[in-house]
Structure 1
Amino acid sequence: MKVLIAGGAGYIGSTVASACLDEGITPVLLDSLVRGRREYTEGRIFFEGDISDGALVDRIFAEHPDITAVVHCAALIVVPESVADPSAYYEANVAKSLDFFGHLRRNVCDRVVFSSSASIYQADDGSPVDERSPWGPQSPYARTKAMCEQMFADIAAAGQMRVLSLRYFNPIGADPKMRTGLQLKRPSHALGKMISCHQEGTPFPITGTSYPTRDGSGIRDYVHVWDLAAAHVAAIRRFDSLLTESEPSMAINLGTGSGTTVRELCEAFNRVVDTPLATVDTEPRPGDVAGAYTSGDLARQTLGWVPTLSLEEGIRSSLDWIPLRDEKLR
């Protein structure tokens, strides 16, 4: 079996590709390398280019006619950046995704696993959500994911595609075999900032301390990226049993089912490292919300998927990855 992974040189896409290889599925990578890394494509089938490039997509399918499904991970994902430059996000995440779907339809590929986001949910009070919870995206990035889901559902309802949207919560960690991990040296998410502050010996800023959560800090559902990758393999394998002509689209939350506040994440971080990390309370960033976490019931019922790796394991593998990242990505 072959699967096309759009954004296959990024953090999530490259990890999904590794999981596919381990499970006997051949990944074909497509990435513009705007954010992805060429190093993550070594030894893998790789096409450099944009998902909106119809001639390139046609060539991929001409050379690999046995591609049976697509995992669409290609997107810009930084919330503050989306606030500062929303037009770039709508173009990259929405307009180009629509182009991409047209190219897939032309090549008679109707199976798509879409990397969506839990940021589409109304997450004002830090409470748990499920797939039926109301939407309330609070940033341009989150709105691009909501728009894509709606767009894809309409395309699917017209009988032109089948789409399984996987709504990620907060990925952390690295491939356990250390083939790939987060490529950014100064990531904007909480754990990445914690690691940077720990390395530099500076206090970690807790951005927002008056949210309606148990300790006032934002709450998230931190899921190990390798568990996320395993969910994609399950989605590929079970795709035809889940999506039919009568139900051509669906969405599944991927999280641990356990909410962790930023202060609790700091505590977990300090259980892993030798030197404790200091913190300082600050104002929230533009686009930030209280956050949410998910029950995970639907993922268990439909994909047979239950996350197996702990928060501490995610933190530890993130730390283990850093010296390898600096060696690999020079």
Structure 2
Amino acid sequence: MSILVTGGAGYIGSHMVHALVDAGERVVVLDNLSTGFRFAVPQKAVLVVGDTGDGALVSRLIGEHRIDTIIHFAASLVVPESVADPLKYYRNNTANSRTVIACAVAGGVKNFVFSSTAAVYGNPARVPVAEDDTPAPMSPYGSSKLMTEIMLRDATAAHGLRHVILRYFNVAGADPQLRIGQATANATHLVKVAIETALGTRQKMDVFGTDYPTPDGTCIRDYIHVTDLVAAHGDALRYLRAGGAPVTLNCGYGRGFSVLEVIDTVKQVAGVDFRVDFAPRRAGDPAAIVAASDRIRSLLGWQPRYDDLGTIVAHALAWQKKLDTLALGAAATGRG
């Protein structure tokens, strides 16, 4: 039996594929490479370039590779873009997920792990926010993910598809071995943007909104190391294989940092100062969102290893330096 990882050439998905291969699993990756990279997929995994909305392709992969588990990462994930182009998000995140779920049911897939988001909570009434709190997304991105959660729960009730829904908070960092990391051009992730600015790739960076009801006026987020997030997926897979009941779980540490605190940490770790400009709020950004993470710790036995903002930044910085060196080498040899 094999595991199908959609979006497995992307930032988080590729970390998952490496972890699965390291664990001796047989892995098939489905990715259209719109934001993913071939180099991010380990050679021991099978890479199929295609779209999750292609039901015939998904069904064929399930049958040919005897897929018994799907870990579904493939999605569009930029909140401001979702506000500007909502239909793209309802196609890529909701309609395509419906196709994957339908193929899973028809193909007899037993286990399904879904990559959801804290954006389903919107601007929560309380912080930390718990899994049972009422979802109230502020963006089409959050809504598109919540719709998929609902479809997955309904499909489970009707067809017995066992699932775990993991609601990610703010994912950052890189593989400690520096095999992979965030490589997307023009990324919007705060840690990556700040690091690129520190290294001179960007002349300056913007802080969107300084008038939020937070101690320093900037948004507060719960940052989780990508390796710890991947470990949560591994725990979820073991839980499902042992017959665990469907469940929705937050993936965060339970502690928040403001935008300015993250920028200060990047400056300290990188050892450089850089220009920061202040801009108006962006549509769809909640003021503060931090995970209540006791459920995932108790139910799955999840034990984070990199629960430290400085460590997260250090790993991301080391990866970005490696990426920049590889890009310079490629340009020098005419391969860039």
TM-score, normalised via structure 1 length:
0.93
Taking a change above 3 Å as real, the CA distance of residues 250 and 198 of structure 1, as seen in their structure-2 partners, is same
Q: Does 1:312 align with 2:306?
A: no
Task: Please name the residue that 1:89 is paired with.
Answer: 89
Contact kept? 1:126, 1:218, Cα under 8 Å: no
Tell which deviates more after alignment, 254-263 or 264-273.
264-273
Q: Secondary structure at the match of 1:16?
A: helix
Taking a change above 3 Å as real, the CA distance of residues 203 and 40 of structure 1, as seen in their structure-2 partners, is closer
- TM-superposed CA distance for 1:54, in Å, is 2.5
Deviation string for 1:31-68 (max 9, x for gaps)?
11122112222402111111122222233233322x32
Q: Residue 209 of structure 2 aligns to which amino acid in structure 1?
A: G
What does 1:1-330 align with in structure 2 at a 5 Å threshold?
Answer: 2-43=2-43, 44-65=45-66, 67-123=67-123, 127-200=127-200, 202-241=203-242, 243-244=244-245, 249-309=246-306, 310-326=308-324, 327=326, 330=336
- TM-superposed CA distance for 1:197, in Å, is 2.4
Taking a change above 3 Å as real, the CA distance of residues 85 and 222 of structure 1, as seen in their structure-2 partners, is same
In structure 1, how many angstroms separate the alpha carbons of the residues matched to 2:98 and 2:59?
16
In structure 2, how many angstroms separate the alpha carbons of the residues matched to 1:126 and 1:297?
16
- TM-superposed CA distance for 1:129, in Å, is 0.6
Q: Residue 155 of structure 2 aligns to which amino acid in structure 1?
A: I
Contact kept? 2:198, 2:267, Cα under 8 Å: no
TM-score, normalised via structure 2 length:
0.91
In structure 2, how many angstroms separate the alpha carbons of the residues matched to 1:117 and 1:213?
22
Q: Residue 321 of structure 1 aligns to which amino acid in structure 2?
A: W
Q: Secondary structure at the match of 1:158?
A: helix
Q: Secondary structure at the match of 1:103?
A: helix
Q: Secondary structure at the match of 1:185?
A: coil
Contact kept? 1:122, 1:134, Cα under 8 Å: no
Name which structure has the greater RCO, CA cutoff 8 Å, separation 6+.
Answer: 1
- TM-superposed CA distance for 1:110, in Å, is 2.9
Deviation string for 1:59-78 (max 9, x for gaps)?
3233322x321100010011
Aligned residues: 325
In structure 1, how many angstroms separate the alpha carbons of the residues matched to 2:243 and 2:265?
37
Q: 5+ unaligned residues in a row in structure 1: which ranges? A: none
In structure 1, how many angstroms separate the alpha carbons of the residues matched to 2:39 and 2:126?
38
In structure 1, how many angstroms separate the alpha carbons of the residues matched to 2:156 and 2:125?
33
In structure 1, how many angstroms separate the alpha carbons of the residues matched to 2:240 and 2:124?
33
Task: Please name the residue that 2:333 is paired with.
Answer: none
Q: Residue 85 of structure 1 aligns to which amino acid in structure 2?
A: D
- TM-superposed CA distance for 1:240, in Å, is 3.8
Contact kept? 2:198, 2:270, Cα under 8 Å: no
In structure 2, how many angstroms separate the alpha carbons of the residues matched to 1:205 and 1:90?
28
Q: Residue 55 of structure 1 aligns to which amino acid in structure 2?
A: A
Taking a change above 3 Å as real, the CA distance of residues 202 and 33 of structure 1, as seen in their structure-2 partners, is closer
Contact kept? 1:125, 1:213, Cα under 8 Å: no
- TM-superposed CA distance for 1:25, in Å, is 2.2
Deviation string for 1:143-198 (max 9, x for gaps)?
10111111111111113422210000000011112221112132112112212322
Contact kept? 1:71, 1:112, Cα under 8 Å: yes
- TM-superposed CA distance for 1:91, in Å, is 0.6
- TM-superposed CA distance for 1:242, in Å, is 5.8
In structure 2, how many angstroms separate the alpha carbons of the residues matched to 1:215 and 1:283?
15
